[in-house]
């Protein structure tokens, strides 16, 4: 293969939309900007949710009640069959899982799930285990160690 043989993948290049090229083009007359008004003018844009000065819907509706989303505990899932990469009798902790790329992401906690079968005796250390994962690990003679998260301490005034 030479440089002159290179070409983009099919579908990677698009023709640009040619505005104002007559009614039959589908983009003539108002050139896709609708009728008159603020959005038809050049250089203008209105922010998302702006309703022309009217009180926007997001500010009109009441906001009350409890939102549970701020109290959720999220885990990086790791399936049991992924743990077969480790040697028999090895200790599997958070650092080992992250170094092999089995637990990628910014979330601070790891949960071992019971999908697949484990073929080796391992000592697994994680923040949480599913019931199926715990029984399968212990059936092979391994051990499950739960890592306790340290509570966040606030600065005293």
For residues 29-36, give the mean pLDDT: 92
Neighbouring residues of 34: CB distance < 8 A, sequence distance ≥ 6: 40
Instruction: Please check whether the domain covering 73-146 is classified as CATH 3.30.70.360.
Output: no
Proportion of the chain above pLDDT 70, given as a percent: 95
Give the global pTM: 0.58
Higher model confidence: residue 149 or residue 119? 119
CA distance to 17, 116, 132, 139, 153, per residue, from 13 (Å): 13, 42, 49, 56, 53
Q: What is the pLDDT of residue 45?
A: 87
Neighbouring residues of 51: CB distance < 8 A, sequence distance ≥ 6: 57
Q: What is the C-alpha to C-alpha distance for residues 138 and 144, in angstroms, rounded to an integer?
A: 7
């Amino acid at each position: 293969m030479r440089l002159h043989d290179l070409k983009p993948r099919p579908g990677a290049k698009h023709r640009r939309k040619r505005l104002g090229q007559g009614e039959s083009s589908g983009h003539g007359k108002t050139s896709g900007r609708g009728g008159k008004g603020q959005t038809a003018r050049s250089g203008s844009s209105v922010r998302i949710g702006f309703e022309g000065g009217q009180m926007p819907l997001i500010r009109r509706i009441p906001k009350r009640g409890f939102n549970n989303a701020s109290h959720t505990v999220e885990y990086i899932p790791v399936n049991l069959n992924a743990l077969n990469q480790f040697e028999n009798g090895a200790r599997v902790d958070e650092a080992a899982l992250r170094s092999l790329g089995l637990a990628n992401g910014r979330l601070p906690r790891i949960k071992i799930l019971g999908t697949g079968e484990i073929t080796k005796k391992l000592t697994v250390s994680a923040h949480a285990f599913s019931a199926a994962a715990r029984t399968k690990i212990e059936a092979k003679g391994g051990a499950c160690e739960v890592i306790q998260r340290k509570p966040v301490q606030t600065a005293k005034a």
